[in-house]
Chain A
Amino acid sequence: MSTSDSPVRTTSPYPAPSFAESVRLIAVREIMARIRSKVFLVSTGILLVAAVASVVIGGLVSAHPSLPKVAVVGSAAQLVDQATALEAVPADDTDAAEQLVRDGTVDAAVVPGGDTLLGVTVIAKDSPPSDVLGALSVTPPVTLLDPPQQNGFLVYLVALGFGLVFFMSAMTFGSTIAQSVVEEKQTRVVEILLSTISARALLTGKVAGNSIMAFGQIVLIGLLVSLGMAVTGQHTLLGDVGPSIIWFAVFFAIGFVLLAALYAATASLVSRQEDVGSATSPVMLLVMIPYFLVIFFNDNDFVLAIMSYIPFSAPVGMPMRVFLGSAAWWEPLVSLAILLATTLAVILLGARVYSNSLLRMGAKVPLKEALRA
């Protein structure tokens, strides 16, 4: 076996790209493929419009609450004017006022008379109008020993917001990355790619590209929502929600990488687009559980505390607790550390599953075999 007669081979004129350079090329291709996809552009547009619309409509509704209308007769007008939560509609006499109540033009009528201190009688159609009564009554001052930091409805809205945004983005980009993994398998382009770059570089590039897109979408939604709040004058709300939105973005950035790696690894087990759904369904469950938990248990400190430390639900649970003010300053940091460690472990395992399964076409690769070193 003499090699003396073989020509002296010089090294390639093109140096092999580094791992980082390969990852960058793959990530850029992933991003370009998303940006060029009409489905992606349309769904992002709808998501952004919905986010802005919810803020603007919420702002308009709270800025112009509709006051209950009451018909007033004679001296009752003075009393109604003092109650700022009522809109007075003057009526000529009691009969006219009753007629307005029957029409439904007003919610109730306030006419002079009656034996109480107020010296008025309230006329309503079929039930006592509690809002009108409340506005006319004198209530003693109340002192709360343990006042809630946020009002219940707002808590629900914020929980819904975090839950929904996390759920939607994770689902959209998770299934996108799963489909693109199987596309590479199904079209067999993966064999050419693997003859050039390592499976780890391919996985990293795909996860990076899709994470950047998902994170970009979240940041865009966050900016638009903040802008919408500022423009519609909801400064106090912005001040309340602001810090938790920032924590949400940080947790999301890492949490999504975790999910993306899981989606890619599970999708690599199958070879056909039709099988992606069933292969990735365990991961989808991991995405859905925190969403439902935060909606049903956003007022339960114990459940939220547990959620805020479990890596899969921490991106929703911890910002929620920051918003509620129930988390000490160090808690988000500890939870973030747990999330980071889990993400690293999942990436390492995921890369193994991914490289073991990529070239196995046909039937679904059993997870046990895919995990083998």
Chain B
Amino acid sequence: MLEIRGVNKHYGSRQVLKDVSFTVGDARMTGFVGGNGAGKTTTMRIILGVLSADSGTVLLDGQPLTAGDRRRFGYMPEERGLYPKMKVAEHLVYLARLHGLPTASAKANADALLERLGLGERAGDTVQSLSLGNQQRAQIAAALVHDPEFLVLDEPFSGLDPMAVEVVLNVLRDYAAGGAPVLFSSHQLDIVERLCDDLVIIADGEIRANGSREGLRDDFGAPRFEIGVPGDTDWVREVPGVAVVSSSAGSAVFEAETDAASQAVLQQALARGPVHSFGRQRPSLATIFKEIVT
């Protein structure tokens, strides 16, 4: 388990991280969400030791993270970049060897990854000759080529076509399934919603929300329900402990202060006639994000 505890960071006089604390659990995909300039990249750079924090610590299984531990991380920085004139496969082997892999394993890993990411035929080409999308795939290969035990990926999906997104999704799921903590940031909230187990929301350098995806949705605001009945739904307003969000002929959305209040609505509806649907409405990630951040 990776734990970020009380991290502060200033750039000059501007404080970009304020007491940032959260955890990335083993075998959990943790989505790291925030607006531009919220502090995601700075946090990730501090985790990787590329930047140093003013105060606070990063712990791995309760122990402060060392340079040796960091070699076992797979890191994809937000600012992409590889040596433009190096050949793709050679570049991956070079990075793997810097992480301590013997040449043979480095080569085998590079070939396997390129094959999996659909770059097998371009292994001998220089990085600069690849299209942007393919450079992006090569970048993902660069983060994974040394068999990392932890993943920290900054915007791994940006610039990828839908096919590549699927491939990368599967790769990340495999890692999490293998027990690795995976932390990734993304602006694409629909992907985060699909992929992540846990969610960390950051705004203005502060962690605003933090927890499991379902937990966050449940906790967010008063529980909201939707009921579908034939005919008029104005009567819902009369039920005590209920606030109607919207109502129309055929359906109503309401917030209930207690479980009893929501059940009272259902019972009244059943008493009035058939009920087509009744269910709890969970806010989408986009909704939560918008409300938390603004």
Tell yes or no: B191 within 8 A of A by CB: no
Q: Which residues of A contact B3 (CB under 8 A)?
A: 1
Tell yes or no: B173 within 8 A of A by CB: no
Q: Which of A6, A189, A191 contacts B83 (CB under 8 A)? A: A189
| A192-B101 contact given A25-B94, A198-B67, CB 8 Å threshold | no
Contact between B98 and A193 (Cβ–Cβ < 8 Å)?
Answer: yes
Contact between B71 and A187 (Cβ–Cβ < 8 Å)?
Answer: no
Contact between B77 and A188 (Cβ–Cβ < 8 Å)?
Answer: yes
Contact between A17 and B98 (Cβ–Cβ < 8 Å)?
Answer: yes
Tell yes or no: B149 within 8 A of A by CB: yes
Interface string of A192-209 (1 = CB under 8 A from B): 111111100000000000
Measured between alpha carbons, how far is A13 from B99 in the docked complex, in Å?
11
Measured between alpha carbons, how far is A359 from B94 in the docked complex, in Å?
21
Instruction: Tell me what chain B mostly uses at the interface: helix, strand, loop, or mixed.
Output: loop
Tell yes or no: B64 within 8 A of A by CB: no
Contact between B149 and A29 (Cβ–Cβ < 8 Å)?
Answer: no
Measured between alpha carbons, how far is A191 from B68 in the docked complex, in Å?
17
Measured between alpha carbons, how far is A1 from B73 in the docked complex, in Å?
22
A198 to chain B, nearest CB (A): 7
Contact between B100 and A3 (Cβ–Cβ < 8 Å)?
Answer: no
Q: Which of A15, A184, A192 contacts B77 (CB under 8 A)? A: A192
Measured between alpha carbons, how far is A20 from B212 in the docked complex, in Å?
44
Contact between B98 and A197 (Cβ–Cβ < 8 Å)?
Answer: yes
Tell yes or no: B95 within 8 A of A by CB: yes
Contact between B51 and A6 (Cβ–Cβ < 8 Å)?
Answer: no
Contact between A3 and B51 (Cβ–Cβ < 8 Å)?
Answer: no
Instruction: Tell me what chain A mostly uses at the interface: helix, strand, loop, or mixed.
Output: loop
A242 to chain B, nearest CB (A): 40
CB-nearest residue of chain A to B178: A7
A79 to chain B, nearest CB (A): 72
Contact between B72 and A12 (Cβ–Cβ < 8 Å)?
Answer: yes
| A22-B146 contact given A3-B62, A6-B26, A189-B81, CB 8 Å threshold | no
Tell yes or no: A14 within 8 A of B by CB: yes
Query: Which chain B residues numbered 83 to 129 have a C-beta less than 8 Å away from chain A?
Result: 83-86, 94-95, 97-102, 105
Interface string of A1-25 (1 = CB under 8 A from B): 1010011010011111100001001
Contact between B26 and A7 (Cβ–Cβ < 8 Å)?
Answer: yes
- Chain A, interface residues (CB within 8 Å), range: 20 to 34
Interface string of A108-134 (1 = CB under 8 A from B): 000000000000000000000000000
Q: Which of B49, B75, B179 contacts A192 (CB under 8 A)? A: B75
Most buried by A among B49, B50, B143, B146: B50
Contact between B94 and A29 (Cβ–Cβ < 8 Å)?
Answer: yes
Contact between A7 and B102 (Cβ–Cβ < 8 Å)?
Answer: no
B23 to chain A, nearest CB (A): 8
- Chain B, interface residues (CB within 8 Å), range: 35 or more
Tell yes or no: A183 within 8 A of B by CB: yes
Contact between B101 and A195 (Cβ–Cβ < 8 Å)?
Answer: no
Q: Which residues of A contact B97 (CB under 8 A)?
A: 17, 25
Contact between A16 and B81 (Cβ–Cβ < 8 Å)?
Answer: no
Query: Which chain A residues numbered 19 to 52 have a C-beta less than 8 Å away from chain B?
Result: 22, 25-26, 29, 33, 36
CB-nearest residue of chain B to A193: B98
| A192-B81 contact given A3-B62, A17-B98, CB 8 Å threshold | yes
Measured between alpha carbons, how far is A22 from B101 in the docked complex, in Å?
12
Contact between B98 and A187 (Cβ–Cβ < 8 Å)?
Answer: no
Q: Which of B73, B82, B85, B100 contacts A195 (CB under 8 A)? A: B73
Measured between alpha carbons, how far is A195 from B79 in the docked complex, in Å?
13
Measured between alpha carbons, how far is A29 from B283 in the docked complex, in Å?
52
B52 to chain A, nearest CB (A): 10
Contact between B71 and A196 (Cβ–Cβ < 8 Å)?
Answer: yes
Measured between alpha carbons, how far is A193 from B48 in the docked complex, in Å?
11
Measured between alpha carbons, how far is A15 from B99 in the docked complex, in Å?
8
Tell yes or no: B80 within 8 A of A by CB: yes
Contact between B100 and A14 (Cβ–Cβ < 8 Å)?
Answer: yes
- Interface residues of chain B, those whose CB is within 8 Å of chain A, are 1, 3, 23, 26, 45, 48-51, 61-62, 67-68, 70-73, 75, 77, 79-86, 94-95, 97-102, 105, 142-143, 146-147, 149, 179
Given contacts A13-B147, A192-B143, 7 further A-B contacts (CB under 8 A): A1-B62, A3-B1, A12-B149, A16-B68, A16-B99, A195-B50, A196-B98
A-B contact pairs, 8 of them (CB 8 A): A1-B3, A14-B101, A14-B147, A16-B100, A25-B94, A29-B94, A192-B81, A194-B50
Which 5 residue pairs spanning A and B have beta carbons closest together?
A188-B81, A188-B79, A187-B81, A14-B100, A191-B77
- Interface residues of chain A, those whose CB is within 8 Å of chain B, are 1, 3, 6-7, 9, 12-17, 22, 25-26, 29, 33, 36, 183-184, 187-198, 359, 361
